[in-house]
Structure 1
């Protein structure tokens, strides 16, 4: 009964690079079909199987499902790995729990592929759901048949197989699949049956839209492959339509950064109109724009301890940000700053209006950073040394800028600066 499915999967060579395959099995009809199919054809596919099951403990049948799968795996001599959901239950929490468990098992037991039972109807539902939610065109590409996952791949071999083509084998029913409290269930049990009265091929149309979207975006990737997305001059030399695509592509690198269309347009506007700009996007992510570069970076927030100024007394040592400062008496030790006062030194971050005296002229710290082409990220890490009300040094990007020595000043101490590993 699985012959046609096997020929299709064999043609696509999903398991060509894999020997140990972990199957996610819930106990429902889809995953039980996947389990039986792969068990039946494991020798022809040259794979060794393992089963991963999560008992969500949300239904009375959960214990029965777990017991059945344990017994089945034992009879077939297949390893089975089971975990019990913990925490406050929600669809997202359950999904995150499952996939973290799958990654853990793959790493510990050296599985290179995780296999799930998503089929063509799931794909159609996903596309329709994203349409309802106003997703970008690129996300209408839907679920991928193969994608990177953990240290291996996540494979969905049934993704082009309609649910009606899967046999109705022994499985456990989940009554929550009938509840209209969930959008996917409303799409499956209400919206699609209604829409099929207008277009009996609505599910097929959704899948065609997905495939066409994939092709369009792959074509755009191919055509723009030689464009450096982070080179500002190269980026801005493209048409606005290409700029839009390039920024979308660049943002795809940051899977945990989800932004609205309004935020996306703000990013584009900054890239097109601003110079030397640091824009906080979301969380720790920043867009850092200079004349030559466009970068999105995750910048760790400084702790309150690192933000607060520190006072360094004479004959003492303190650590501040990434450095150790030692304020000592004069000696023959090299790599030190000569000081003309033994008053306490305040170590702090830069402030609006800061300037340093270079003797014949004073320069705003902001202007110094611009002239020296200091990146916006490094500017935020700069350390200002202040003594007797005056800035005596600026430490930025491992380089120290010193004020002019006072006329007729007498050297009284040295400041040793060591970068921490």
Structure 2
């Protein structure tokens, strides 16, 4: 790493500039590249941009995380930032702008002018989680009666401006999406034949207000090169296929952070300050702390039973730990299945049957192990029976709750990833204790 930093510094400070393009090829790891860019001061960032030119700087910004790219553009000043933004694809540029301070974004868009910034403004008008925020408004749309030869000429001129040309979208009045024509089919068609005669009318599209994860799923499942984005039937943009990886990575990161009991970070981990991490974690920790308090309430309520049979206390950690672990395994698997579209609320019956059946097998296994543990501790047959029955009941209860809760939350419009490992563990802990002592009351008294 040190020789890379030194090499970049020499190239930027050299009166001849050196081979910065060579440096870009040498540093192939985006994380290393991001670290180098984050260390550049304003003068060196400006020199780097001058050596690469607007297109080279745009490619560099596109090769690192958006937070680092935003820092680089911010160092270039208004004029330099505008030059780079103008040659970037609108969806990429909008993603970077979302990482920049709002006053700076407003000034950049204002200085670009209404015409040049129209595409960026269109993308930025949608919330980051919506499909509309990941589209490029630059695509080729044609009336149904456009001859193929004229359509090809329009594709040539549109391609020069960076518009998506893999598919040509056929529109009716008010840009209503009527069909799609692959460019290859257009080239092979007689020049006078209208595009409406060769279009495919069964078009897979996504609403601009749909979750970005659904857009990525459609692109991936159907193997599309681009997905049209519609608003009330009118096509307003397309999502290119290369956006799938970015969306999938962001969604997977958010789900992982939520399942760990933390709010998602808006910046890469290494750029997050202790204060930022505190803000993201403390709310969930406080919620879980309050929720855990009822475990103490349950223990206090059954204090007499504990005093009468001290041996019951020996198994509390074992029982609540087993329930929490069972629930965590199920929610982790199920939340991921929901995320990739494998299951939905319509499948709740099948999911419950599958998980309860699996839970029954797990319960029998764990009950047998618990019997051995109780025998080893010499607590007596009655307490051993309580432990065996309880561990079976808790496993089945955890399986049932964990199978239902994520699907219900998804139906209510809540991200099922919030059913995090700590949340499930806390829920099963308290309810598991109630099950334990109620069974103890039935068996022992």
TM band (smaller chain): under 0.3
Which structure shows the higher helix fraction? 2
Query: What TM-score results when the alignment is normalised by the length of structure 1?
Result: 0.23
When Rg is computed on C-alpha atoms for both structures, the one with the higher figure is 1
- Structure with a larger share of its residues in strand: 1
TM-score (normalizing by structure 2): 0.22
